[in-house]
Amino acid sequence: MTHTTNGDPRLAAPGFQSVHDAVLAEVERAISGKTGAIRLALACLFAGGHLLIEDVPGTGKTSLAKALATSMGGSWRRIQFTPDLLPGDITGVSVWERRDEVFRFREGPVFANVVIADEINRASPKTQSALLEVMEEAQVTVDGVGYPVPAPFLVVATQNPVDMEGTYQLPEAQLDRFLMRIELGHPDLAVETALLANRAAAQPPRLNPVTTLEQVGQLQHAVSGVHVTPEVARYIALLAHETRIHPDLRLGVSTRGSLALLRAAQAHALGRGNHFVTPDDVRALCRPVLEHRLMLTAKARVRDLSTGDVLAEVLHKVPAPTPAGQW
């Protein structure tokens, strides 16, 4: 069933939540015990952003991306990033057709609804940057011609911790293109025990589409209509401003980061059945949306601080607006 919203979040909220919960339940069949991470991934999807998952190998990063694609009936392609991967291996190349004596564009694996960029930080910075245009503009330009990718479009990049051997730090410009960065972590003992018992007795669950690409596109459009009060908008701006003047940070949150937090909070609110953003929505999304956009000073690194520590301090310092809109 297709929900028609006409951009009105009050009409979209019930339909949005039903689709959201259906996708959540389907993805949970593949990724057990990670409800919080899946909710964040769904907020990223419906906000029209891209997701970076940083964790050690074997925690289900790729499985999460495949489950998202399958649950919305979309196509997915996986790109294994390696040191010898070239930009054209991602975007595609123009190939000379001798019979017709013309160049024809041969699409790369980036032409899918969900693109899994596996272990993205194992490739060189030049290859990593091949994703910049398509993540921002939803198109690939080759020989001056633009080729749009399918809609909706989601890049789910996975990366190993940067201190592991054979990894390259993602450049700041590319990190800023990811709406969120999350971690999955290992399942707890009870969940892993149940997982092993189920897999020993049967095949992994076969997932099914529970929504359509058209529905996802409509609900992404509805997210931008979720109401944001001036007080909540100022709260987001103050959080960003505080990171820019914090003595332990040499790079604070950009305006793109502020807009990303706003958009993610709108999607999060709709996922909870609300047609307005609360300070709780902002605080819930603050770490996954902002933490990877911050850079510590050298002195802060020597003191073994993390960007999460600084962000927690900022959240404590900046007062949230009250329900009545007073400060």
User: Any idea what the CATH number is for the domain that residue 194 is in?
Assistant: 3.40.50.300
> How many structural domains is the chain composed of?
2
pLDDT recorded at residue 257: 93
Q: How many helices (H) and strands (E) does the chain have?
A: 14, 11
For residue 257, give the H/E element and its range. helix 255-271
- What is the mean pLDDT of the segment spanning 76-88? 90
pLDDT at 11 > cutoff 60:
no
Place of tokens 């820019």: 244
Say whether both 195 and 238 belong to one domain.
no
- In the chain, the percentage of residues whose pLDDT exceeds 90 is 47
pLDDT at 157 > cutoff 60:
yes
Is residue 105 in some structural domain?
no
Tokens of 95: 């190939």
pLDDT at 6 > cutoff 60:
no
Say whether both 70 and 197 belong to one domain.
yes
Is residue 299 in some structural domain?
yes
Is residue 327 in some structural domain?
no
Is residue 272 in some structural domain?
yes
pLDDT at 9 > cutoff 70:
no
- Write out pLDDT tens, residues 193-242: 776 776 655 666 788 899 999 999 999 998 988 999 999 999 999 999 99
Q: What is the C-alpha separation between 271 and 39, in angstroms, rounded?
A: 8
Q: What is the C-alpha separation between 306 and 313, in angstroms, rounded?
A: 11
Q: Which of 70, 42, 12, 49 is nearest to 219 (CA)?
A: 12
Is residue 146 in some structural domain?
no
Query: Using alpha carbons only, how large is the chain's radius of gyration in Å?
Result: 21
- What is the mean pLDDT of the segment spanning 234-261? 94
pLDDT recorded at residue 3: 47
Place of tokens 């502020």: 258
Is residue 143 in some structural domain?
no
Q: Which domain CATH number covers 256?
A: 1.10.8.80
Cβ atoms of 66 and 76 within 8 Å: the answer is yes
Say whether both 256 and 181 belong to one domain.
no
Domain boundary residue, one of 195, 219, 243: 219
Say whether both 45 and 169 belong to one domain.
yes
Say whether both 212 and 118 belong to one domain.
yes
- What is the mean pLDDT of the segment spanning 168-181? 83
- Write out pLDDT tens, residues 127-151: 888 888 888 889 998 888 889 999 9
- Write out pLDDT tens, residues 266-309: 999 998 888 899 999 999 999 999 999 999 999 999 999 999 99
Say whether both 42 and 122 belong to one domain.
yes
Give the DSSP letter string of 138-207. Answer: SEEEETTEEEEPPSS-EEEEEE--TTSTT--PPPHHHHTT-SEEE---PPPHHHHHHHHHHHHHSPPPPP
Residues pairing with 102 in the sheet: 97
Say whether both 183 and 249 belong to one domain.
no
Q: For 79, left (φ over 0), alpha (ψ -120 to 50), or beta?
A: beta
pLDDT recorded at residue 201: 58
Say whether both 172 and 272 belong to one domain.
no
Q: Which of 134, 146, 23, 151 is nearest to 75 (CA)?
A: 151
pLDDT band of 98, cuts 50, 70, 90: confident
Instruction: Out of 30-39, 86-95, 156-165, 294-303, pick the least confident.
Output: 156-165
Q: What is the C-alpha separation between 23 and 64, in angstroms, rounded?
A: 12
pLDDT recorded at residue 261: 96
Is residue 324 in some structural domain?
no
Q: What is the C-alpha separation between 232 and 235, in angstroms, rounded?
A: 5
Is residue 106 in some structural domain?
no
Domain boundary residue, one of 167, 193, 219: 219
pLDDT recorded at residue 309: 93
Distance from chain centroid for Cα 96? 36
pLDDT recorded at residue 1: 41
pLDDT recorded at residue 132: 83
Q: Which domain holds residue 21?
A: 9-86+111-132+151-219
Highest average pLDDT, of 94-103, 122-131, 300-309, comes from 300-309
pTM, two decimals, is 0.85
Say whether both 313 and 174 belong to one domain.
no
- In the chain, the percentage of residues whose pLDDT exceeds 70 is 87
Say whether both 232 and 196 belong to one domain.
no
Say whether both 215 and 231 belong to one domain.
no
Domain boundary residue, one of 219, 246, 262: 219
Say whether both 41 and 121 belong to one domain.
yes
